[in-house]
Amino acid sequence: MTVSVLSVSARGSDEIAVTFEISEGELRQRARFLLSSRAFADLRLTVGECDRSVFDAASEAAELYSAVKRGLFILGYGSCSKKDLCRRLVMKGIPREVANAAVNELAADGFINERADAEREAERCVSKLWGRKKITAHLYNKGYSEEAVKGALYALEDSGVDFSELCAERLRRAYDSLPDDPKDIQRVMAALARCGFSGSEIKTAMRIFKDE
């Protein structure tokens, strides 16, 4: 068996097309791979005969490059956690180990910043008048790491977010006044708890609302 690089051609500034030929007796088979310029440089490919291991490495690099491009396409529609992006790539039929490698490469190149992305997502939750518990659960559900989630919550506190006041604003938007019936009050409190507010935050918010 003989393996050769038949041609190398640039496609734009960051993509290289490489054509291999594998021959065994009279049988000949060609394969064309698209590589990132970085992978191409790492492989040090030149036209001419090469080892089968070079072909295999180029094949793996092309698969990874395809996954990275798919990841960039997904990120173009909005930020993702590393876990969520990996899940989406796997759903597209990309092997999990390749998806993980692609996500790690994108993160290393600065395309994924979980801390900053989680902070922006938490800010969007605040604009929806969500409490701390619901925001925390939402961020974990989006696949953000514990470190990113804690950092996002600390950032909210540092920016001056007051969850009792946030809860009071939710009351302002939903009611002209609080009901008198204790059962109705319990229903209001249960609804606020489902929005992620703690018992103490709800009681403080009700006092604020009543005093206005």
Domain residue extents for the chain: 2-108, 114-158, 163-211
Contact status, residue 115 vs residue 152, Cβ threshold 8 Å: yes
Instruction: Check whether 210 has a pLDDT greater than 90.
Output: no
Closest of 33, 32, 87 to residue 61, by C-alpha: 33
DSSP reduced 3-state for 19: strand
Average pLDDT value for residue range 135-154: 94
User: What pTM was computed for the model?
Assistant: 0.75
Q: Quote the mean pLDDT of the chain.
A: 93
**Residue 161: pLDDT above 80?**
yes
The correct CATH number of 2-108 out of 1.10.10.10, 3.40.50.970, 3.40.50.720, 3.40.50.1000 is: 1.10.10.10
CA distance 89 to 85: 6
Structure confidence by residue, pLDDT tens digits, 118-127: 999 999 999 9
Mean pLDDT of 90-105: 96
Return the structure tokens found at 96.
């999990």
In the predicted model, what is the mean pLDDT of residues 72-85?
91
Q: Is 202 exposed, middle or buried (0-12, 13-18, 19+ CB in 10 A)?
A: buried
Q: Is the pLDDT of residue 92 over 80?
A: yes
Does the pLDDT of residue 212 top 80, yes or no?
Answer: no
What pLDDT, on the 0 to 100 scale, is given for residue 176?
87
Q: What single-letter DSSP state applies at residue 130?
A: -
